[in-house]
Amino acid sequence: MKGIGYLGPEGTYSEKAALLYAGDRKDLLAPCSTLEAVCQAVVQGTLNAGVLPLENSCEGTVVRTLDLLVRNEALSITGEIIVPVQHHLLARPETTLDQIGLVLSHPQPLAQCSEFLSQQLPGAKLQEMVSTAAAARVIRECGLGVAAIGNAEAGIRYNLVKVCENIQNMKNNYTRFVVVGREKPGEAEKKPAEYKISLLLHIHDRQGALYNILKEFAREGINLTKIESRPAKTRLGEYIFFIDLDGHLENPAVYRALREVDKQIIALRILGCYRKFKH
């Protein structure tokens, strides 16, 4: 394998997801500076797979990832990984909670820990970083008044201590990552298993358009597990819908539903057909 890209540096939740996908083969991992860089490396063939955060159980969809999937037509989804999220307030040794006036982290963890931050650090300034590990790496060089929100691995890697543990709003906090590659959807493996299909639908801006599409899936008894809209970026009021559904492309009911849906919309793109993640 050429390598598996993820949002770096080392110590991010993306690295944890990539390690799960790689079977703990750390030599295959390639940290990238941005999600865009992950996608670009896969599209160009520098890496043969990438791991992207798609949604969090508390804060919802990572819209940047959706936009990247829309923009990069050469990419397909080949798998998914679900990672439990445990956020800790990390700082240099000897730092106490009352000393902290600045907290750094990725926007998602800052939102996922909003209750702790408002209650325990109401006067602290919050600063967004490209990743949790980048925040941890930065505060290693800062004074005692700066902290980062990240995972335990980042704390160990950058010689930080946990000022407070498990500070996320919801204790059952999970992030779903998708694996992207350049394979054609459904090309990888067809062994019996529970499968999921991800779609992008560019629909018309007219009355009943979305209802008529959903009706086709309901008619065939197909379970939709996620539906999210993003602007088509063509004109106001025109949207692209990201849809996850249970099933395989070779299932006759799925085939019939997609055939009928395709007749009613501007464009249909099958992002991937892949195994559901097993906890």
Residues 53-77 have pLDDT tens digits of: 999 888 889 999 999 999 999 999 9
Q: What is the pTM of this model?
A: 0.84
Q: In the prediction, which pLDDT does 204 show?
A: 86
Q: Is the dihedral of CA 166, 169, 171, 173 positive or negative?
A: negative
Q: In the prediction, which pLDDT does 238 show?
A: 82
- Decide if pLDDT at 131 tops 70: yes
Residue pLDDT, tens place only, 159-214: 999 999 999 998 888 999 999 999 776 554 555 458 999 999 998 888 888 999 99
Q: In the prediction, which pLDDT does 81 show?
A: 96
Query: Taking the CB of residue 165, how many other CB atoms lie within 10 A of it?
Result: 10
Question: How far apart (Å, rounded) are the C-alpha atoms in residues 213 and 251?
Answer: 18
Q: Which domains does the chain carry? A: 4-84+174-181 (3.40.190.10), 88-164 (3.40.190.10), 195-275 (3.30.70.260)
Q: In the prediction, which pLDDT does 251 show?
A: 92
92: pLDDT confidence band, cut at 50, 70 and 90? very high
Tokens of residue 120, six digits? 């325990």
- Decide if pLDDT at 143 tops 70: yes
- Decide if pLDDT at 23 tops 70: yes
C-alpha 17: how far from chain center: 10
Question: Is residue 32 left, alpha or beta, with left meaning phi > 0 and alpha meaning psi from -120 to 50?
Answer: beta
The amino acid that residue 243 corresponds to is I
Q: In the prediction, which pLDDT does 71 show?
A: 92
Mean pLDDT of 31-35: 93
Q: In the prediction, which pLDDT does 192 show?
A: 44
- Average pLDDT of the chain is 90
Mean pLDDT of 5-34: 89
Question: How far apart (Å, rounded) are the C-alpha atoms in residues 171 and 88?
Answer: 12
1: pLDDT confidence band, cut at 50, 70 and 90? low
CB 90 within 8 A of CB 136: yes
Residue pLDDT, tens place only, 201-260: 998 888 888 999 999 999 999 999 999 998 888 878 788 999 999 999 999 999 999 999
Q: Please report, rounded to a whole number, the percentage of residues in the chain having pLDDT higher than 70.
A: 96
